[in-house]
Each structure stands twice: as C-alpha cells, then as structure tokens.
Amino acid sequence: MSSRTSGQVHIIGSGLLGTSIGLGLTNLGVDVSLEDSSPAVLSLAKDFGAGRTLNAADEVALVIVCVPPDVAAETISSAIKRFPQAVVTDVASVKSSILSEVTASGAELSHYVGSHPMAGREKGGALSGRPDLFVGRPWVITVEKNTSAQSVNVVEQLALDLGATPIRMTAQEHDHAVALISHAPQVISSLLAARLSGADDSDLALAGQGVRDTTRIAASDPKLWLQILSANATELLPVLRDFETDLSSVIHSLEQVDSAGSLAKLGKALEAGNLGISRLPGKHGSRNTSYASIVVMIDDKPGELARLLNEIGSAGLNIEDLKLDHATGAQVGLVELSVLPAIEAKLLETLSSNGWRLAG
C-alpha cells in the first residue's frame, strides 16, 4: 500500500492517539518521528514500532500534536515556531478554546489546521495503540475563514491514509456537536454509575444489560475527561441545563402521580427519548435501518459460535450485527443476529434445518 501523505511526519505525544497514528503511517511506509515529554513513554512507543527519534537535520512536512487537551495549545504554538515549513495539526477533543489560545500566543496560523479523529478506547496509553484505531471513524477537520486550503488538504490526506472519513466543520460547530453526542453522554453516564457505588450487593445482583450499557463509558479516565469537559463548558452547559430541566419535571411528575396531567408529562418525556434515539444514524453512515433480529441459543463451549456462523456463511448470508449475550449464572449464550429483512426468511430456514434452537 502506498500513502497519500508525503514527506516526514513528526508526532508530538505518544499516548494512545499518537502511537496509533504512528503505527498506521509506519505500516504505509511513511517516515515517522516521535517525541514525548516522558522518555519512558517515548521509548515504549518506538519499541512498539510507531516511529523513530527526531534528528536535527530532519525536514518535517507535517506535525501532529497528540498531547492532552490542557497542554495542546502551548504545544501547538511552540510546534508552529519550531517547524515553520510544516503543516501543523492536533487531535484534541475540543477545538475552539485551543484555537483561541494559539491565536492569542501570536503564532503564525497559516499552516495550522485543528482536527479531531472521533476514535478512542476506554484504556489509554501507547500500549493500547493500534494502527486501525481510525478505520471508518469520522475525522473532523476544522476549517475557519482564513484556513489555508493547501493545509486542509494535507490533513485530509492523513485522515484518508488512516482509513478515517474526513468531515469539515468550524471549531465552534465541532464543539457544539461533541458536547451533544460525546461530552453530555459522558457526564450523564458517570453520574448514573455513581448511584451504584453505595448500593448493596443484593441490589446489584439484579443488574441486566440496560444498566450495563448506560454506564459503560463511566469507566473512562477521569483526568482526561476533566480537561475535555472544562475546556468545552460553554457548549456543554446548555445541553446539561436542558437535561436538568427535563429531569426536574420528571421528578415533579413522580412526586404527584395522581394529579391531573402528571402522567401525560412523564409519558411525553419517554416519547421524546424514542424520538431522539430514532435520529441516530445507522450503520455504514446511513440513517437508522431496520434490521430483522433473530436470537439463537448456543452452548457456552469452544466452537459453538463458530459452527453457527460457519453455517450462515456457507449459505451465503451476511450478518449486519451480532450480539453475544452471556446470561448471568448460566452456561449458555444467546446470540442475537441482525440481518437485512430481505434475507430473514432464508436465515430462519437455514438455522431451523440445521437444528439450532431459535426464538418461539
């Protein structure tokens, strides 16, 4: 595979994102150099194959700043001064506050383009890095009135090299969007999970998939999120205040369930949730597609799931989504297969004739 990106790429900060970018570009044959404020972290990322040490004689074409949000602006400003010939970008999860700080520092902005790959993992660090971290993910590239088209193009080629889908927005549009679809869910999930911290084991024993899904991202790194949330407070606050207003109205309705109109209000809140979730785009970038869902029961032993999927594959049928659900305390698993409605009948027939245990 040959890369779109040309020239040497220098990555500042070799945590999860820096290491993943380094691995992805190195795999494509790009010459990648790395630096990190921690010699131990830098050495780990180099051992991992994410790049080499920067040399004094290097001619860097693109600098990617991959440091935590609280030091991103000063690192970008300094990179602009250190590498005056290079395009400089960064990957921080907040964009407006960083742009303001970089502008205020007096750094030359003509070669700077902020960006944000919408990828990550609950675990950070170089060791969690992987070259395919960005595959199929949106990569926001922030374009302001005076941003150089040439520089935007360089960052778009980078995103495409790593398998991501570049999306152009202003920094403010980006921050508005992520407040809604990333930062507010993080706060709400953390606050919900916090309710469990003092619970009795006997209460928690009844936990099912609902509470697990709603609280999963509460396992994320508090230090990183503290920086993200505080840097995007302006956009996040209106979303949280609207949530607070609705919650307060639900609490009020529950306090007087017998008074006129209370149930109607509560019902409307639940219906608004139905509407909201229906607006999330579905797989492959399209609007929510309705898949047919088929549940198969399998024994919890090696090879069972493979045998099931092997038979489905042999019949030429493609699965859109798969969820393996190990039931609490049971040694059996439930496999929920989502398929396009057009092939549902054929799949049911295939499974039945092969003796699988199905719903109803």
Query: Which residues from 213-232 bind its own copies, rule CB under 8 A?
Result: 213-220, 222-223, 225-226, 229-230
210 near its own copies, judged by CB under 8 A: yes
Number of residues that bind its own copies (CB under 8 A): 144
104 near its own copies, judged by CB under 8 A: no
194 near its own copies, judged by CB under 8 A: yes
Sign of the CA dihedral running 331, 332, 333, 334? negative
Which residues 6+ apart lie within 8 Å of 59 measured at CB? 7, 8, 85
1-60 residues near its own copies, rule: CB under 8 A = 19, 23, 48-49
Among 301, 341, 349, 354, binds its own copies (CB under 8 A): 301
Among 99, 113, 239, 351, binds its own copies (CB under 8 A): 239
Stretch that binds its own copies, among 2-10, 100-108, 165-173, 345-353 (CB under 8 A): 165-173
306 near its own copies, judged by CB under 8 A: yes
Q: How far is the CB of 20 from its own copies (least distance, A)?
A: 8
Residue pair 184/240 in contact by the 8 Å Cβ criterion: yes
Residue pair 166/134 in contact by the 8 Å Cβ criterion: no
Q: Largest Cα–Cα distance in the chain? A: 78
Of the pair 71, 240, the CB lying nearest its own copies is at 240
Residue pair 23/3 in contact by the 8 Å Cβ criterion: no
Q: Which candidate, 224, 118, 222, 136, places its Cα nearest to that of 177?
A: 118
Among 257, 260, 261, 290, binds its own copies (CB under 8 A): 257
355 near its own copies, judged by CB under 8 A: no
Residue pair 61/158 in contact by the 8 Å Cβ criterion: no
Stretch that binds its own copies, among 6-14, 78-86, 98-106, 244-252 (CB under 8 A): 244-252
For the stretch 32-39, contacts whose Cβ atoms lie closer than 8 Å and that sit 24 or more positions apart, written own/partner, are 32/8, 33/8, 33/9, 33/58, 33/60, 34/10, 35/10, 35/11, 36/12, 37/13, 37/67
Neighbour tally for 12: CB within 10 Å: 25
Among 279, 290, 342, 355, binds its own copies (CB under 8 A): 279
Q: How far is the CB of 353 from its own copies (least distance, A)?
A: 17
Among 140, 143, 152, 159, binds its own copies (CB under 8 A): 140
Among 185, 289, 349, 354, binds its own copies (CB under 8 A): 185
359 near its own copies, judged by CB under 8 A: yes
Q: How far is the CB of 84 from its own copies (least distance, A)?
A: 33
Residue pair 27/51 in contact by the 8 Å Cβ criterion: no
285 near its own copies, judged by CB under 8 A: yes
Kindly write out the interface string for residues 53-92 of this chain, putting x where it contacts its own copies by CB under 8 A and - elsewhere.
----------------------------------------
Among 135, 150, 341, 345, binds its own copies (CB under 8 A): 135
What CA–CA distance (Å, rounded) separates 39 from 249?
A: 53
